[in-house]
Chains A and B, each alone.
Chain A
Amino acid sequence: MSTTTHLMTAEELMNIDDEPNRHELIKGELLTMSPPGLTHGIVTVNLSTVLHNHVKANNLGLLIGEAGFKLEINPDTVLAPDIAFIARDRVGIITPGFRSGPPDLAVEVMSQWDTKPEVDRKAALWLELGAKSVWNVNPKKRTVEVNRADGERRLFHDTDELVDDTVPGFRVKVSEIFA
């Protein structure tokens, strides 16, 4: 992850094209991330699917991958979690650009080049900017850390069942995510 000091806007962010890197904007500061490896992709799709199947079957809201959420203006902050969930009563109108406002749940799957302090900083930022819950999924340790806006933090291990009432009724064995 590298940063530049030039303050960038969300509109400028939309026009960056330096495939295959990924970008986010924190208070106008550009974050550039390399694409993750295969393990990250497998874990993200596993978890997306179990979440999607539950959210869809119960009509709970919208599940979305890698979309940009515009969370602050001037300087702009745009974050793009690996998976996001927005509860039905908050979905509103779907527009093609970045969504203004946070999701209920942001899921970040750690890649091999993310460090714990970076992940903690991002989780704190998500919660500060209005997400109700942030899941940090660690494929290496096979754990999921659930960080909630009320300050509660729970660590789920491989043999645990992951639950978080931000997604009502959802439960999955942690080991399934890493299968």
Chain B
Amino acid sequence: MSPVGFTHGTVTMNLSVMLYNHVKPNNLGVLVGEVGFKLETNPDTVLAPDIAFIASDRIGARTPGYRLDPPDLAVEVMSQWDTKPEVDRKTALWLELGAKSVWNVNPKKRTVEVNLANGEKRLFHETDELSDDTVPGFRIGVSEIFT
């Protein structure tokens, strides 16, 4: 990917910090930014979501290289040069390769689309409160992400 623009960077930082401030004190697991997950071998698939959450019971040993399992949650923040079909394709791939949930954050529309492995898709608007059992107990006003 290209380096992201400023809006994308701000939104990613806001959401990372809010997730981290919930995940860490509640000891729910590990939150990481922009790291590679190696999901298929020969031919290889490596994806790097903007933010990823791995639940504590699935963390296992920390190794320096790519992690070989999918995260529980992958968060993708759309940049101005991402198109909806690209984002949908990526989401389908994440779910197919084992992520439990994918959040597509759209800074332009100020929405968050939550896509669950069970096929459920929910769209949260600016006045909604975002929650997803993949990160137990987490809830924030969508508008906070875009401030």
Whether B6 pairs with A67 at a CB distance below 8 angstroms is yes
Contacts of A41 in B (CB 8 A): 32-35, 52
The reply to whether B47 and A20 form a contact with Cβ atoms under 8 Å apart is yes
Q: CB distance B35 to A65 under 8 Å?
A: no
Q: Is the CB of A98 within 8 A of B9?
A: no
Chain B contact residues, CB within 8 Å of chain A:
1-10, 12-13, 16-17, 20-21, 24, 30-36, 46-48, 50, 52, 62-67, 80-81, 86, 90, 107
Give chain A nearest CB distance to B7 CB in angstroms: 4
A23, A39, A49: which has the most chain B beta carbons within 10 Å?
A: A49
Tell me, yes or no, whether A160 is within 8 Å of chain B by CB: no
Q: List 30 A-B contacts (CB under 8 A).
A: A14-B81, A17-B81, A19-B1, A22-B3, A22-B34, A24-B3, A35-B66, A38-B30, A38-B64, A38-B67, A39-B64, A45-B32, A48-B16, A49-B20, A63-B13, A65-B9, A65-B12, A66-B4, A66-B9, A66-B12, A68-B3, A82-B33, A84-B9, A95-B6, A96-B6, A96-B7, A97-B6, A98-B3, A98-B6, A112-B65
**A40 and B6 contacting across the interface, CB-CB below 8 Å:** no
Known A-B contacts A35-B48, A38-B35, A42-B32; the reply to A78 vs B16 at CB < 8 A is: no
Choose from B9, B52, B64 the contact partner of A112 (Cβ within 8 Å): B64
Let me know if A45 and B10 touch, CB within 8 A. Answer: no
* Distance to closest chain B CB from A108 (angstroms): 13
Contact B17 A64 (CB under 8 A): no
Chain A contacts for B3, CB-based, 8 A: 13, 22-24, 66-68, 78-80, 98
Is A38 in contact with B17, judged by CB distance below 8 angstroms? Answer: no
Chain A residues near B65 (CB-CB < 8 A): 37-38, 112
Minimum CB–CB distance for A12 against chain B, Å: 9
Q: Is A34 an interface residue (CB 8 A)?
A: yes
Q: Which of B20, B35, B46, B66 is the most central at the interface, judged by chain A CB atoms within 10 Å of its CB?
A: B35
With a cutoff of 8 Å between Cβ atoms, the chain A residues found around residue B80 in the complex are 96-97
Please report the C-alpha to C-alpha distance between residue A66 and residue B5 in the assembled complex, in whole angstroms: 9
| Cross-chain contact A52 with B13 (CB below 8 angstroms) | yes
| Complex alpha-carbon distance, A44 and B1, angstroms | 18
Complex CA distance for A14 and B3, rounded to whole angstroms:
7
Smallest beta-carbon distance A146→chain B, Å: 21
Provide the A51-88 mask, 1 if CB < 8 A to any CB of B, else 0: 01100000000111111100000000011101010000
Please tell me if the beta carbons of A38 and B6 are within 8 angstroms of each other in the complex. Answer: no
Instruction: Name B59's closest neighbour in chain A (CB-CB).
Output: A38
Beta-carbon contact of A80 and B34 below 8 Å:
no
A140: which B residues are within 8 A, CB to CB?
64
The reply to whether A37 and B67 contact each other, CB–CB distance below 8 Å, is yes
